[in-house]
Structure 1
């Protein structure tokens, strides 16, 4: 085994553990928010130790500034402003801006395709 390189089975286990921790954080947030924040910390430690990205499904569910679990409506707000999704952390006030240009492009392309189909008929 090369230095810093881990086998695929080890990386798969790390991804599964992170998924389990985030799902537990989501379940436990209402009753025990501190416990869910701890689960996020553990998942981040696993991702740094095994050099694995946090799954995209869960990547936007924690604050990139204070590393707390975000539960929309309880400790975070989500706004659509100027082609961006703004996720505002209620714990520290950090704003994560995520563009949704791809969705707009796909919608525009679908519209153009529908016009082309009408013209051909």
Structure 2
């Protein structure tokens, strides 16, 4: 899987600070994620819902996600901390669970390797 600059929107409050696209060349699939004015209100609402779950100790960062899945697209929000979320806009809704679970696994692996626990 190759991460190109411009899939995930990292949000801190209502400010979009980063945008990327993930391309899986092995399976010829692309997951697009980009700032889009039509999606900003929805993205911010999902961000607020996800971080409220963390702040209320209902869930833990990078251990859960909030998903809004429609017929042709979906948005998945993964809380990273009490104020940051990773939002993924998916053009293939049936794949959202697989994509989200794999992304959470990769994020946790990266964090564990950076924190000195090694790659699990």
TM-score by structure 2 length?
A: 0.27
Q: TM-score, normalised by structure 1?
A: 0.27
Task: Name whichever structure is richer in helix by fraction.
Answer: 1
